[in-house]
Amino acid sequence: MSHVPLSDIPAPCWVTDGQGVLRRYNARLAEWAGLPDPGAQGDVAVTMTDWLTPAGRIFFETHVWPTLRRDGLIVEIFAYWQPGGRRSGAYVSAKRMEHDAEPQYLWLLFAAEDRQAFEQALIQARQRAQSQAEQLQEAHARLRLLNGQLQRQIHQTQAENRTLSELAAHDPLTGLGNRRSLQALSQALASRPAPRRPYAVLMIDIDHFKAINDQHGHARGDAVLAGVAECLRRCARQSDTVVRYGGEEFTLVLPDADVSQALVVAARAHEEIARARPGGLAVTVSIGAAAALSDDADLYEVLQHADEALYAAKSQGRNTTVCHSSSRR
């Protein structure tokens, strides 16, 4: 009750110090005891025992105050009061409140004729509070439900976005990354701490692939693509990345490798593809090799060099590997 403004209490209510001197009161008490309006009150030199009959004062001094000081609480003590000379019976309850270093006491008075009405008002107030609490609980439950649905939707959307990103960066036929996946690889290579070790790139093209499609059909051509992709996986080191660059072209990025190491992998690729016969056909590939020789070399620049070397390999009769001139320093 100490947290409720006195003005909200529908009964005479007041606060005193330990000697019964009024400190605050509400309008109902002002009306009952003939006090100034509480909105205009300054220091009101009133002691609550002034309202008691002589017998009531004795009762308060010998029983009520000792009990209140000892227990901090009294409940529904009946006494005869005579505010303004009017004698009436009323119940009073009080509670000790700690206020700074000096205790204060909150008093609540029930005129006998008002008690039933006040109890009814309390019941109604409790019912309203209970109804509001139930509505609040229902609102919280709905909010938790909606929040749970939102979180599930967010997680689902994030999972779908991850799936879409993975699908967008992968080739469904070969299971390799596609050209889009090179962007992330380029960023990873560029963000390596200095000093950066060199890396190499192989550009691989299936020889006469158009003729394979024309003579054996696109289904056999797809089998050749998938078979070559599997051969390149087997030839690559664990740290290497194999990508279907587009059409019948593949890219193999070899981190921490120079061009001589790349040429070893290229030779292994020629041998593995010849042995495996992808799609059941005698398939050969042409390969261009290039290496990043400087710390700030861009992946796409190295890819361009490897592509130029691949063009040279095609010009030299295919089924061979050519190293870009910039990588022979």
pLDDT digits (tens, 9 = 90+) for 163-202: 545 555 688 999 998 888 888 887 777 766 665 678 899 9
User: Is pLDDT at 326 greater than 90 in this prediction?
Assistant: no
Contacts 24+ apart (CB under 8 A), 69-76: 69/18, 69/96, 72/96, 76/110
Question: What phi-psi label fits residue 293: left (phi over 0), alpha (psi between -120 and 50 degrees) or beta?
Answer: alpha
Number of other residues whose CB lies within 10 A of the CB of residue 234:
12
1: closest CA among 100, 122, 116, 111?
122
Report which listed range, 11-20, 33-42, 141-150, 308-317, is most confident.
308-317
Asked whether residue 42 carries a pLDDT value surpassing 90, the answer given is no
Indicate the residue type of 77. Answer: I
Q: Token digits for 24?
A: 């605050």
- At residue 195, the pLDDT reads 56
How many residues are recorded in the chain?
Answer: 329
The dihedrals phi and psi of 286, each to the nearest 5 degrees, come to -110, 140
Residues contacting 49, CB < 8 A, separation 6+: 20, 56, 57, 60, 61
Check: CATH 3.30.70.270 for 181-327? Answer: yes
Give the active site residue among 113, 248, 271, 308. 248
> 122: Cβ–Cβ under 8 A, 6 or more apart, which residues?
none
Q: Which residue has the higher pLDDT, 290 or 40?
A: 290
User: Does residue 72 have a pLDDT over 80?
Assistant: yes
pLDDT recorded at residue 186: 78
- Identity of the highest mean pLDDT range in 6-20, 28-42, 151-165: 6-20
- CA angle (312, 255, 314) in 5-degree steps: 10
The pLDDT tens digits for 127-162 are 888 889 889 998 888 888 888 887 888 777 676 555
pLDDT of residue 168: 54
pLDDT in tens, 83-132: 877 788 888 999 998 766 788 999 999 876 655 566 677 788 888 888 89
Return the percentage of the chain with pLDDT > 90, whole number.
44
* Residue 18 to residue 14: CA distance in whole angstroms: 13
Active site (annotated) includes residue 119: no
Residue 206 has pLDDT above 90, yes or no: yes
φ/ψ of residue 175, rounded to 5: 75, 5
Q: pLDDT band for 291, please (50, 70, 90 cuts).
A: very high
Task: Mention the CATH class of domain 6-120.
Answer: alpha beta
pLDDT score, position 189: 78
pLDDT for res 125:
86
Beta bridge partners of 250: 204, 244
| 29-38, 45-54, 189-198: least confidently modelled range | 189-198
- Domain spans of the chain? 6-120, 181-327
pLDDT digits (tens, 9 = 90+) for 222-233: 999 999 999 999
Averaged pLDDT of the chain: 86
Q: How many CB atoms lie within 10 A of CB 207?
A: 17
Task: Look at 313 and 256; give whichever has higher pLDDT.
Answer: 313
From the list 93, 29, 81, 33, the residue with the least C-alpha distance to 57 is 81
